[in-house]
Chains A and B, each alone.
Chain A
Amino acid sequence: MVITGSVIMVMPGSDVVVEEKLRSFPQVTCHAKSNSGMDMIVNVEADNHHELESLCQKIKDDIPEIIDIGHVYINFEEEIQKIESGTWQNYYNLND
């Protein structure tokens, strides 16, 4: 599971519309927005990094008012466990 802390940058004046459209993406949780309304603080959740990238692309494609989705933090819970358990070899083999 991958969980991000991200900033969605939107066109000026489109924050309400974007918030409404984001409701169709249950993987996205909105927390707050800036005074200008152009930056929205969100989480994006996905099964893995690959899916995260695809999801973000789909969000941008479906909501043209979104300029960019910038990640500030990504939590790689399962990968951390793999590092700690020393199973990185498996990580690479499984994914290759």
Chain B
Amino acid sequence: MDLTRREMIKLSAASFAAAALNMSLPRNSSADEEIVVDKWVKGTCRFCGTGCGIYAGVRNGQLVGIRGNPKAATNFGFLCVKGFKGYMSMYHPDRLKYPMIRSEDDKFHRVSWDDALSKVTNKFKELHQKFGKDSVAFYGSGQCMTEESYTFNKLWKGGLRSNMVEGNPRLCMASAVGGYITTFGADEPAGSYADIEKAKTLFIVGSNMAECHPILFRRVARHKLQDPDNVNIIVCEPRLTPTARIADIWLPADPGTDLAVFHCMARELIKNNWTDSWYIENLCRFSTGAKVVDFNAYKQFLEQFTPEAVEKITRCPGANIKEAARLFGSQCPTMSLWTMGLNQRTRGVWANNLMHNLHLISGNICKEGADSFSITGQPNACGGVRETGSLCQLLPGTRAITDAAARADVEKSWKIPAGSIDPKPGFHTMEMFAKLGAEDDTSKPLKAMLVSTTNPAQSLPNAPKYYKGMKDAFLVVLDIFPTRTTQLADVILPAAFIYEKGGVYGCSERRSQLTQKCVEPPGEAKADLWIAAQIAKRMGLEKLIPWNGDDAPTSYKMAWDDYRECVKLTEHTLFGITYDRLTQMEEGLQWPCPNDKSPGTSRRYVRGHDPLMNMPDIVKVPSSALIYFYGDKQHEGKANVFLRPYKGPEEPPDKDYPFFLTTGRVIEQWHSGTMTMRVPEIARSKPNAYIEINPSDAKEYGIKEGDMVKISSRRGFNIMPARIVKNSLPGILFVPWFDQTWDRMINRVTIDAFDEGSKQPEFKICAVKIERVGDPKDVADMYIISDVNTPFPLKI
């Protein structure tokens, strides 16, 4: 690179950075042309749920760079390391390029698409005949495109008449869905990311945003730093994470005990009159869950949660809770943000309810800078799975499948006979895998499963319990790399990466954004939508799923239009979000967006902001109402403030298993590491999982930095290096879950107990014990499963 060219690249790169701040540089003319690409294609990042806008650079038919889109309303041009580098896994030599069927020698062999699809559909038909319509399940992902989830959902529920449809958002977001629906009668937040910069107090709960949603965290940190004396940050989280380090108040409650903290905060709000009487009178309905009570009953209920009592339950200092309540209630507007720490619990729905309680009684919702906001973990858990209703109990528009009117509406839209959709929900994820098994096993009603874009053999809690079912059943996997799940499969169908097909993602703030196809997939890999449509065609359902052509953009647009029409007259309407508009707009659109003139909705339930407030054909709202929760099943426009009793985790520590184990992500790696571990720079920076231990615990157990430690639960064990860190409190251990290495797959240890309401498992909390088993050992092997025929490590 000569000096001139280098200087021009530097200027050009600086111009991109300046654009992110809406600044211009003094000498940026003609610099853009110097980063040589044939075209920059607009899209979204395919990792976390922030929904960062990107531009993908294409040269000679290959993706050669990613840059942030400075006009994107989510990230303003900034990206994290995964966003920049993750796409490089697209070109990894391990990419699955050809369909494969496991043969009698127990090895996978390459076959044609025709043979693979015939094998799949013939088997599905045979099982339907032998065992009924509910013997074959679909298990999707919050990383599938919206069009793909919608199509599989339509194929199963409308075509095969089976509600055996689930997706991995059950593992990460189901409690947030349950919380929104039970409190407000409708899923997803009222506000937007833009509330971050308007809030005076930010309450971050069960979320290590700094590592898991780094671009959103950047917005929070930037807001704080611009006015450090007047912007307050409260973090409730058992670990002193990078997120907690910027907090004014840290609430270090033991895992699973924070229901008591939230009730205590509510008590303080009321006691100190940091409440909003108009909201309480007009927008709140107090409920035990079984019956409606009044505000006084709620006050009396909260009396048990004094700061002193709660400190004993949670180990969180009572003084911190009181100060947090003061900031929450008196330094308004207040916005709360949370992720898996609140959701992945046996009391996840309740925890979500109690967060909403705080906002409702203090009037911190439906105002600029005030919202009760669940951040989604995956890029399309909201748009793809929640909104398309691709869970066993839902229909498109997040409508309940038990709702006869909703079924009738969907049947009409899908042009299938009335009564076609089964009113009985299918199995939720944990039940699905528990009931998956061999044809001759009468205890297992599910005989086959099609898994798309997810890796349940690594991501399910207490995973080994479910391996036999996966192995014994007829398992079809759509993916881009070999994984622990492909090791158990019968058929592997090679899928396309997001930039090889395009489609819509919907992020945490109800925003839909279109990624346009950039390049062709490798080998014979195909877009997931094509695979779904070909399966439909071979099962005689071509009329239901007609978008089976070879041109991906055309097929994805057809599916999107079908979906828009299906949810046109629902609270989640995105009828006005057309491909044409998404192509033209830099920042996408937020639903509700009922027509092609609508600018979308940044704040729901508020007259003047939410178009549905004046659309009686969708929801009925009194003309005098300024704020109205129109999802309220009592048709009073109110939200439920719940008197949920305190309940701790399913498996608290005891004398045999004296530690809390909590698990999570790290900034570099994504989920089970199948993509990010294939980017050498990322792999080197986090090459293996490890166990974080507080120094006092390490001392007690004779463990030094790097020593090999065995961590055991009642279900299984791992062996991995110790990291002695002060950011985990005594008694609390942390292990990231990206590592595919058998010894370090932490979901061999976690518990599969789940929330009774949301059916979401308690990944975040279980009881374990530890012992030192050896001196430091180099385990930075950056392990990945490279060969589809690598044997599964466990004899099944």
Q: Which A residues contact B (CB, under 8 angstroms)?
A: 1, 3-7, 9, 11-12, 29, 31-32, 34, 36, 38-39, 41-43, 45, 48-50, 53, 67-68, 70-77, 79-80, 83-84, 88-89, 91-92, 95-96
Q: Do A70 and B14 touch across chains, with their CB atoms under 8 A apart?
A: no
A31 and B18 in contact, given A74-B84, A77-B1 (Cβ under 8 angstroms):
yes
Kindly list chain A residues whose C-beta atoms are within 8 Å of the C-beta of B416.
none
Alpha-carbon separation in the docked complex, A34 to B20 (Å): 11
Check if B67 is an interface residue, CB within 8 A of chain A: yes
Q: Which 9 A-B pairs have the closest CB atoms?
A: A5-B13, A5-B17, A95-B680, A49-B681, A73-B16, A72-B17, A80-B64, A73-B67, A43-B10
Q: Do A48 and B17 touch across chains, with their CB atoms under 8 A apart?
A: no
B685 nearest CB across to chain A (Å): 6
Q: Do A53 and B70 touch across chains, with their CB atoms under 8 A apart?
A: no
Q: Which residue of B lies closest to A33 (CB)?
A: B23
Q: Which residue of B lies closest to A11 (CB)?
A: B225
Kindly list chain A residues whose C-beta atoms are within 8 Å of the C-beta of B226.
12, 36, 38
Kindly list chain B residues whose C-beta atoms are within 8 Å of the C-beta of A3.
6, 9-10, 13
A7 and B59 in contact, given A32-B18, A72-B16 (Cβ under 8 angstroms):
no
Alpha-carbon separation in the docked complex, A50 to B85 (Å): 12
Q: Which of B10, B78, B93, B782 has the most CB of A within 10 A?
A: B10
Q: Do B225 and A73 touch across chains, with their CB atoms under 8 A apart?
A: no
Alpha-carbon separation in the docked complex, A17 to B347 (Å): 49
Kindly list chain A residues whose C-beta atoms are within 8 Å of the C-beta of B680.
91-92, 95-96
Check if B21 is an interface residue, CB within 8 A of chain A: yes
A80 and B65 in contact, given A32-B18, A38-B226, A72-B16 (Cβ under 8 angstroms):
yes
Kindly list chain A residues whose C-beta atoms are within 8 Å of the C-beta of B92.
88, 92
Kindly list chain A residues whose C-beta atoms are within 8 Å of the C-beta of B417.
none
Instruction: A5-B17, A67-B221 are known; give 13 further A-B pairs, CB within 8 A.
Output: A5-B13, A12-B228, A32-B25, A43-B13, A53-B685, A68-B218, A68-B221, A72-B19, A72-B20, A76-B65, A83-B91, A84-B62, A92-B92
Q: Do B25 and A79 touch across chains, with their CB atoms under 8 A apart?
A: no
Count class of interface residues, chain B = 35 or more
Kindly list chain B residues whose C-beta atoms are within 8 Å of the C-beta of A41.
14, 17-18, 21, 23, 25
Kindly list chain B residues whose C-beta atoms are within 8 Å of the C-beta of A9.
218, 221-222, 225
Check if B405 is an interface residue, CB within 8 A of chain A: no
Alpha-carbon separation in the docked complex, A74 to B12 (Å): 11
Kindly list chain A residues whose C-beta atoms are within 8 Å of the C-beta of B16.
5, 72-73
Q: Which residue of A lies closest to B227 (CB)?
A: A12
Kindly list chain B residues whose C-beta atoms are within 8 Å of the C-beta of A6.
17
A32 and B9 in contact, given A11-B225, A79-B88 (Cβ under 8 angstroms):
no
Kindly list chain A residues whose C-beta atoms are within 8 Å of the C-beta of B623.
none
A48 and B9 in contact, given A6-B17, A7-B17, A72-B17 (Cβ under 8 angstroms):
no
Kindly list chain A residues whose C-beta atoms are within 8 Å of the C-beta of B17.
4-7, 41-42, 71-73
Q: Do A5 and B14 touch across chains, with their CB atoms under 8 A apart?
A: yes
Contact of B59 among A11, A70, A71, A84 (CB under 8 A): A84
Interface of B is mostly: helix
A64 nearest CB across to chain B (Å): 13
Q: Do A71 and B84 touch across chains, with their CB atoms under 8 A apart?
A: yes
Check if B297 is an interface residue, CB within 8 A of chain A: no
Kindly list chain B residues whose C-beta atoms are within 8 Å of the C-beta of A96.
680, 782
B62 nearest CB across to chain A (Å): 5
Alpha-carbon separation in the docked complex, A73 to B11 (Å): 11
Check if B60 is an interface residue, CB within 8 A of chain A: yes
Q: Which residue of B lies closest to A91 (CB)?
A: B680
Q: Which of B1, B19, B64, B78 has the most CB of A within 10 A?
A: B64
Alpha-carbon separation in the docked complex, A42 to B14 (Å): 6
Alpha-carbon separation in the docked complex, A73 to B79 (Å): 8
A43 nearest CB across to chain B (Å): 4
Kindly list chain A residues whose C-beta atoms are within 8 Å of the C-beta of B64.
76, 79-80, 83-84
Q: Do A75 and B228 touch across chains, with their CB atoms under 8 A apart?
A: no
Alpha-carbon separation in the docked complex, A69 to B139 (Å): 39
A68 nearest CB across to chain B (Å): 7
Kindly list chain A residues whose C-beta atoms are within 8 Å of the C-beta of B685.
50, 53
Kindly list chain A residues whose C-beta atoms are within 8 Å of the C-beta of B681.
48-50, 53, 95
Q: Do B225 and A84 touch across chains, with their CB atoms under 8 A apart?
A: no
Q: Which residue of A lies closest to B225 (CB)?
A: A67
Contact of A38 among B62, B68, B225 (CB under 8 A): B225
Check if B26 is an interface residue, CB within 8 A of chain A: yes
A34 and B35 in contact, given A42-B14, A43-B10, A84-B62 (Cβ under 8 angstroms):
no
Kindly list chain A residues whose C-beta atoms are within 8 Å of the C-beta of B88.
79
Check if B343 is an interface residue, CB within 8 A of chain A: no
Interface of chain B residues 70 through 111 with chain A (CB within 8 A): 70, 77-79, 81, 84-85, 88, 91-93
A7 and B20 in contact, given A38-B225, A79-B88 (Cβ under 8 angstroms):
yes
Alpha-carbon separation in the docked complex, A80 to B405 (Å): 54
Q: What are 8 residue pairs bridging A and B, where the CB atoms are less than 8 Å apart in the complex?
A: A7-B21, A12-B226, A32-B23, A34-B21, A49-B681, A73-B16, A74-B84, A88-B92
Check if B415 is an interface residue, CB within 8 A of chain A: no
A70 and B65 in contact, given A3-B9, A34-B23 (Cβ under 8 angstroms):
no
Q: Do A83 and B62 touch across chains, with their CB atoms under 8 A apart?
A: yes
Alpha-carbon separation in the docked complex, A96 to B783 (Å): 11
Q: Which residue of B lies closest to A7 (CB)?
A: B17
Q: Which residue of A lies closest to B62 (CB)?
A: A83
Q: Do A75 and B225 touch across chains, with their CB atoms under 8 A apart?
A: no
Kindly list chain B residues whose C-beta atoms are within 8 Å of the C-beta of A73.
12-13, 16-17, 67-68
Q: Which residue of A lies closest to B20 (CB)?
A: A72
Contact of B79 among A1, A36, A72, A89 (CB under 8 A): A72
Q: Which residue of A lies closest to B69 (CB)?
A: A72
A94 nearest CB across to chain B (Å): 9
Kindly list chain B residues whose C-beta atoms are within 8 Å of the C-beta of A5.
12-18
B779 nearest CB across to chain A (Å): 15
Check if B647 is an interface residue, CB within 8 A of chain A: no
Q: Do A75 and B13 touch across chains, with their CB atoms under 8 A apart?
A: yes
Kindly list chain A residues whose C-beta atoms are within 8 Å of the C-beta of B93.
88-89, 92
Alpha-carbon separation in the docked complex, A43 to B21 (Å): 15
B63 nearest CB across to chain A (Å): 8
Q: Do A12 and B21 touch across chains, with their CB atoms under 8 A apart?
A: no
Alpha-carbon separation in the docked complex, A3 to B678 (Å): 22
Q: Do A50 and B221 touch across chains, with their CB atoms under 8 A apart?
A: no
Alpha-carbon separation in the docked complex, A65 to B421 (Å): 61
Alpha-carbon separation in the docked complex, A57 to B91 (Å): 28
Q: Do A49 and B85 touch across chains, with their CB atoms under 8 A apart?
A: yes
Q: Which residue of A lies closest to B18 (CB)?
A: A41
Check if B123 is an interface residue, CB within 8 A of chain A: no
Alpha-carbon separation in the docked complex, A73 to B20 (Å): 10
A70 and B25 in contact, given A31-B14, A50-B681, A83-B64 (Cβ under 8 angstroms):
no
Kindly list chain A residues whose C-beta atoms are within 8 Å of the C-beta of B538.
none
Q: Do A72 and B65 touch across chains, with their CB atoms under 8 A apart?
A: no
Check if B684 is an interface residue, CB within 8 A of chain A: yes
Kindly list chain B residues whose C-beta atoms are within 8 Å of the C-beta of A50.
681, 684-685
B243 nearest CB across to chain A (Å): 13
A52 nearest CB across to chain B (Å): 9
Q: Which residue of A lies closest to B15 (CB)?
A: A5
